[in-house]
């Protein structure tokens, strides 16, 4: 049973003289573990003592076929069994195949209390109530929590036996519960269609400021969809920027407006391309239907950017279960001209441009995840951290002054539109299908207020 996931086990000081890859599917298929239906008991405190004793006994005498020693001659490491999931142990990211994550397996029997510790940790997460989850629901779906957690550890090359508190929080307080919420949204979405009907993918919008980790969140969710046998597509508002030529025309028609000098704010996107692409994605309901998803090359033209060559666009094939659509200004609502003028006079034309964005973006979105920040100045700090890290790695990065100039072109929009986004939700959203996740400066979820559903 996945509740016996090695991730839950306390590491022993004495480990076996070999390494192994954890495969939750093997535990799930092992009858001796399936007989220990932990989730039905609702909580670990009420789990029968006789079954706990059996649990320990099973771990102290693992089946021989589950573990094989590595070959000293080749230096290679063997695994319990091959993982046939979409991604498996070898994760492909940024075009490069990464090796498997190897973990040392404790030699001594696992302490069952450690399983309860992880269960309690999951239940202490700040998002559970917000996402409609309870301790009972966590217990019922504990298999999923542990399998998904293990898979994400592999994806991010984390040692599942030695997670730091921050890593454990990111996995079990953020990524896994959000994915479970997405699964619930998909189930509700599919239930509205009759048998035999084409079911369009659920479009989930992620509205979050730059640097707050939304791209990594979407990457993790997309990965979990793939390993659970469902197809998803990811798209960003960045993919719909104007071409370099179109951006130059925008700049020329708005001389002196720093907010439209470079890409970013409303007006710098090709909305017709947005409509065309999102419409096509929603029609990928059958196997064999394919399309190429637009991509933007930010490094082109010495950083000015340009639309990537269509030959490099990734191809997606139906049937899609979900479309994950992310962007820093998704769901922004146009405001009265006087309101935006008090923030920054240059924002008036941006606000006017924003009126056309609902039909091009927000109308396509069925469910919303809004990542809330306490202070827009965090965007500068996060961007600066990223650029410093890039420079430390010998990669070209913006100077501190360039970072300040870059972020300053977005701050007026944040100051104008975030308060309404946080108090009313995204433009045209349904509060029943909207979740707001407040994060701290470390990009981790914290307890925060829900979207106001009274208006």
Average pLDDT, rounded, for the chain: 78
Instruction: Say what the pLDDT of residue 448 is.
Output: 59
Q: How high is the pLDDT of residue 160? A: 84
The pLDDT value given to residue 114: 58
Q: Which of 341, 323, 237 lies closest to 282, judged by CA? A: 323
Integer CA distances (angstroms), 336 to 254, 264, 290, 355, in order: 21, 21, 42, 11
Is the pLDDT score of 359 beyond 80? yes
Give residue 117's pLDDT. Answer: 82
Chain position carrying tokens 């000081």: 13
Q: Output the six-digit token pair for 349.
A: 């034309």
Nearest CA-CA partner of 350 in 266, 250, 238: 266
Q: Which domains does the chain have, with CATH numbers?
A: 1-12+19-63+110-180 (no CATH), 193-446 (3.40.50.300)
The single residue listed with the structure tokens 């991604």 is 87
- pLDDT of 115: 62
Q: Are strands 306-307 and 296-297 parallel, antiparallel or unpaired?
A: antiparallel
110-140 residue pLDDT tens: 333 456 788 899 999 999 999 999 999 999 9
CA neighbor of 203 nearest in space, from 280, 151, 121, 107: 280
In the predicted model, is pLDDT for residue 396 greater than 60?
yes
Task: Take residue 231 and report the two structure tokens written for it.
Answer: 């197809």
Rounded Cα–Cα distance for residues 228 and 230 (Å): 6
Q: Give the per-residue pLDDT at 70.
A: 32
Q: How far is CA 355 from CA 249, 267, 270, 349, 453, in A?
A: 20, 10, 14, 10, 23
260: which 2 tokens?
């439209």
Q: How confident is the model at residue 199 (pLDDT cuts 50, 70, 90)?
A: very high
Quick one: CA dihedral 214, 317, 237, 325, positive or negative? negative
The answer to pTM > 0.85 is: no
pLDDT score of 173:
96
Q: Which residue has the higher pLDDT, 196 or 398?
A: 196
pLDDT in tens, 258-273: 999 999 999 999 999 9
N-term to C-term CA, the chain: 46
For the chain, count helices (H), then strands (E): 17, 12
CB atoms within 10 A of CB 89: 18
Tokens at 408, concatenated: 């300053």
Bridge-based pairing state of the strands 202-207 and 320-327: parallel
Position 454 scores a pLDDT of: 40
């Amino acid at each position: 049973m996945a509740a016996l996931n090695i991730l839950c086990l306390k590491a022993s000081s004495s480990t076996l003289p070999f390494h192994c890859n954890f495969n939750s599917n093997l535990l799930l298929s092992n009858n001796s573990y399936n007989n220990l239906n932990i989730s039905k008991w609702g909580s670990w405190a009420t789990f029968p003592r006789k079954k706990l004793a059996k649990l320990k006994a099973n771990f102290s005498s693992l089946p021989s076929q589950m573990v094989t020693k590595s070959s000293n001659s080749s230096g290679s490491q063997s695994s319990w069994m091959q993982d046939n999931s979409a991604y498996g142990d070898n994760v492909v990211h940024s075009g490069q195949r990464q090796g498997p994550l190897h973990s040392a397996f404790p030699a001594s029997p696992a302490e069952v209390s450690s399983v309860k510790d992880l269960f309690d940790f999951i239940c202490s997460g700040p998002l559970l109530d917000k996402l409609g989850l309870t301790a009972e629901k966590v217990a019922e779906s504990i298999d999923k929590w542990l399998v998904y957690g293990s898979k994400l550890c592999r994806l991010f090359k984390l040692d599942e036996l030695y997670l730091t508190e921050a890593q454990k929080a990111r996995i079990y307080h953020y990524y896994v519960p959000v994915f479970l919420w997405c699964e619930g949204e998909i189930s509700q979405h599919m239930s509205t269609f009759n048998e035999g009907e084409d079911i369009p993918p659920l479009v989930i919008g992620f509205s979050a400021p730059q640097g707050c980790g939304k791209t990594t969140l979407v990457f993790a969710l997309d990965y979990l969809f793939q390993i659970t046998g469902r197809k998803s597509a990811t798209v960003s508002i960045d993919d719909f920027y104007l071409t370099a030529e179109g951006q130059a025309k925008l700049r020329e028609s708005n001389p002196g407006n720093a907010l439209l000098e470079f890409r970013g704010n409303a007006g710098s996107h090709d909305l017709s391309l947005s409509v065309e692409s999102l419409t096509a994605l929603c029609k990928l309901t059958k196997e064999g239907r394919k399309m190429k998803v637009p991509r933007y090359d930010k490094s082109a033209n010495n950083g000015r950017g340009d639309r990537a060559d269509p030959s490099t666009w990734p191809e997606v094939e139906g049937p899609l279960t979900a479309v994950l659509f992310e962007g820093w200004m998704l769901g922004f609502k146009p405001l009265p001209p006087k309101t935006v003028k008090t923030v920054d006079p240059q924002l008036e034309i941006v606000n006017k441009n924003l009126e056309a964005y609902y039909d091009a973006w927000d109308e396509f979105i069925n469910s919303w995840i809004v990542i809330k920040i306490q202070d827009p100045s965090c965007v500068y700090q996060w961007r600066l951290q990223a650029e410093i890290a890039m420079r430390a790695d010998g990669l070209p990065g913006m100077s501190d002054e360039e970072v300040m100039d870059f972020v300053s072109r977005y701050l007026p929009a944040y100051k104008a539109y975030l308060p309404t986004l946080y108090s009313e939700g995204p433009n045209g959203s349904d509060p029943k299908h909207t979740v707001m996740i407040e994060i701290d400066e470390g990009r981790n979820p914290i307890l925060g207020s829900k979207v106001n559903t009274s208006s």
